[in-house]
Structure 1
């Protein structure tokens, strides 16, 4: 069995802290920060809003997972909404996870353009915000829909996991809002729908990580030379934005990608592991709630103007 009360309390605390910290970040960005361009302000605000939504979704959906040999069971412990509604929200939460990663990759791309390709950065600024604001919804929706349509449970999947669900969680599997990922059938042949989901998930994550890595390395190795084009104050600001981005990419990596990676990769690698697997991996989802306040606090601490504004506001009181 799982300690559901402890999990609920942790998720509620994560949401409360995320709401307060991100609300402060949004307020400061909108009304108190002057050295940040309008486009980047929008990115910071949207990212903060996503952090609030993400932690709120965890409180409502209560996602959990269990890895059993070649299977990953992704399900909800929500007991007060209808099963069909929770199942839709469960798939959507995976899409939200992808949207957050995409937003970070867009920020990396924009900072890369601001530092190394000023004219293209101006074109980015002039481009309708709707374009880059809508783009994250495309891979996010693709991920969510792939969960919903490629991982919908069938008889083989339910039969494979029903005893596990009953033993560990005291529930009948048909009453649980769930998605089941089993890439191999009983004869070790490929279950293509589930396998396609794993392929799509890995490609979506690593494509956008590749953008972050490429832009990050380019900025790192060219920053010293390129900063000579800016004033001294602007040089410091560009450095702060770069370091803030690095930390913002570290947060999702540590608190989102690393926790979810075992639940996705173990079923694919199971035929080569030569071991029995029976893990309650759902506690990893509680770790995910740490990332929104972590990223926002780091951003406020690294970008000097936020620190100065907060100190002035505090001293006035």
Structure 2
């Protein structure tokens, strides 16, 4: 079996996996995932579809490449009954999908960054913004396709330069094969020019980023490489990407039904006990096997003790409200944009209020980070982790909130803390509490 036949088999396998994984990812995203915003669902679907098209075009056009001294030749080994012109167009479009992938990855990075640190900016990605971000990756793709198709067309010199090399290596006549060339220099070592109408264009800008056609003549290096194998490796990217997305979706927190069930239990305890501290009620339910009746029977005081959990005493509503009022008052002052010196002072007050509030709690492995700015929450979380280590604790719980009152339902504090721990504190492991979307579990 000749090399590009093996590559074709691998491409078909990659397309099959990409198609099945992509369809399942789209179905999972649109039909079963409730706790991500619509824009991000569109991003997932867009990326899955582009991956399927990318792999499908590779199967149809069967692109392969060969580097020979001062030339790169791209040719099609397709078995479909298509004209050379049509196969050339398919190769050009396939190559352009690489730029769609790169552009879209960069867009995703920007979107995730904004969702983490500037959630208010996400509104620009909805409505007309949806059209903008969907069109943006197509622009570099279109530019490359047009440039590649115009500037890399075959000519007599290029055909003669690689004719025997291609015939001896693959047993095919290059002049009868859909192909593109990058041959920067002529036989005399001069830079080649191609004329189109009244304009002259360099061949070089349209070529792929492979330098052997330039370096080989300059350094007098002999090259004969079957570089088409790289296409097969690139074609394996889409299925891995879809599988990675699915892994993220499968590991998301509570389903909608589970969250509603939890909310009903919390509501029942609030109604029966008169206590309105949602955080403490969630902790009480966890300590009592999610038995709302048992929590209520204890008249607001949790006496049961399970596993390594400490006894938790429900705080009075007055204490909670006083804390929230203090935090909100400081936050309002910060939002007015005070001078740097005043800002530093207010941030210290905000952090001290959070510390005092948590120190008054009976459970010393759970810490409430509500109402803190994102930066202060990250600083405080790192401080709590260090203190917990000194005390010999193995696990602490950081309450950040689920983001229900945040723009687009995104909790920036939670994401920022998870990011900080994962990247800068590798000795720790952080996960979302499966029973409380607004709590992080940090294993020290």
Which TM-score band (shorter chain)? 0.7 to 0.9
Match of 2:72 in 1: 72
Deviation per residue, 1:246-292 (Å, 9 max, x gap):
xxxxxxxxxxxxxxx5xx22223324554210111112212222111
> Does structure 1 residue 268 correspond to structure 2 residue 219?
no
Match of 1:146 in 2: 147
Count of residue correspondences: 247
2:152–2:181 Cα contact (<8 Å) kept: yes
User: SS where residue 153 of structure 2 aligns?
Assistant: coil
2:184–2:203 Cα contact (<8 Å) kept: yes
Q: Quick one: structure 1 residues 267 and 108, their matched pair in 2 at CA, closer, same or farther if it must change by over 3 Å?
A: same
Match of 2:178 in 1: 177
Q: Report the more deviating stretch, 300-309 or 59-68.
A: 300-309
Match of 2:137 in 1: 136
Q: Cα distance, 1:36 vs. partner?
A: 1.4
1:113–1:120 Cα contact (<8 Å) kept: yes
Higher relative contact order (CA 8 A, sep 6+): 1
Match of 1:195 among 189, 201, 204: 204
Q: Quick one: structure 1 residues 154 and 93, their matched pair in 2 at CA, closer, same or farther if it must change by over 3 Å?
A: same
Q: Could you tell me which runs of 5 or more consecutive residues in structure 1 were left unpaired when the two chains were aligned.
A: 202-260, 313-317
Match of 2:20 in 1: 20
User: SS where residue 281 of structure 1 aligns?
Assistant: coil
> What is the 5 A alignment of 1:17-166?
17-79=17-79, 80-166=81-167
Q: Cα distance, 1:17 vs. partner?
A: 0.8
2:33–2:249 Cα contact (<8 Å) kept: no
Greater radius of gyration (CA): 2
Q: How far apart are the structure 1 equivalents of 2:67 and 2:50?
A: 28
Provide the TM-score with structure 1 as the length reference.
Answer: 0.72
User: SS where residue 211 of structure 2 aligns?
Assistant: helix
Provide the TM-score with structure 2 as the length reference.
Answer: 0.52
> What is the 5 A alignment of 1:197-236?
197-198=206-207
Match of 1:290 in 2: 236
Deviation per residue, 1:62-99 (Å, 9 max, x gap):
00000001111011001432111101111111111111
2:163–2:173 Cα contact (<8 Å) kept: yes
2:69–2:224 Cα contact (<8 Å) kept: yes
Match of 1:233 in 2: none
1:91–1:147 Cα contact (<8 Å) kept: yes
Q: Which consecutive segments of 4 or more residues in structure 1 shift more than 6 A?
A: none
Q: How far apart are the structure 1 equivalents of 2:151 and 2:46?
A: 29
Q: Quick one: structure 1 residues 273 and 300, their matched pair in 2 at CA, closer, same or farther if it must change by over 3 Å?
A: farther
Q: Cα distance, 1:118 vs. partner?
A: 2.5
Q: Cα distance, 1:141 vs. partner?
A: 0.8
Match of 1:253 in 2: none
Deviation per residue, 1:14-51 (Å, 9 max, x gap):
11111111111111111111121111111110100111
Q: How far apart are the structure 2 equivalents of 1:173 and 1:5?
A: 17
Instruction: Supply the RMSD in Å over aligned alpha carbons.
Output: 2.2
Q: How far apart are the structure 1 equivalents of 2:59 and 2:119?
A: 42
Q: Report the more deviating stretch, 181-190 or 36-45.
A: 181-190
Q: How far apart are the structure 2 equivalents of 1:167 and 1:154?
A: 20
Q: How far apart are the structure 1 equivalents of 2:39 and 2:5?
A: 42
More helix by share: 1
User: SS where residue 35 of structure 1 aligns?
Assistant: coil
Q: Cα distance, 1:159 vs. partner?
A: 1.3
Q: How far apart are the structure 2 equivalents of 1:277 and 1:5?
A: 22
Q: Quick one: structure 1 residues 5 and 163, their matched pair in 2 at CA, closer, same or farther if it must change by over 3 Å?
A: closer
User: SS where residue 186 of structure 2 aligns?
Assistant: coil
Q: Could you tell me which runs of 5 or more consecutive residues in structure 2 were left unpaired when the two chains were aligned.
A: 194-201, 259-444
Deviation per residue, 1:196-243 (Å, 9 max, x gap):
214xx6xxxxxxxxxxxxxxxxxxxxxxxxxxxxxxxxxxxxxxxxxx
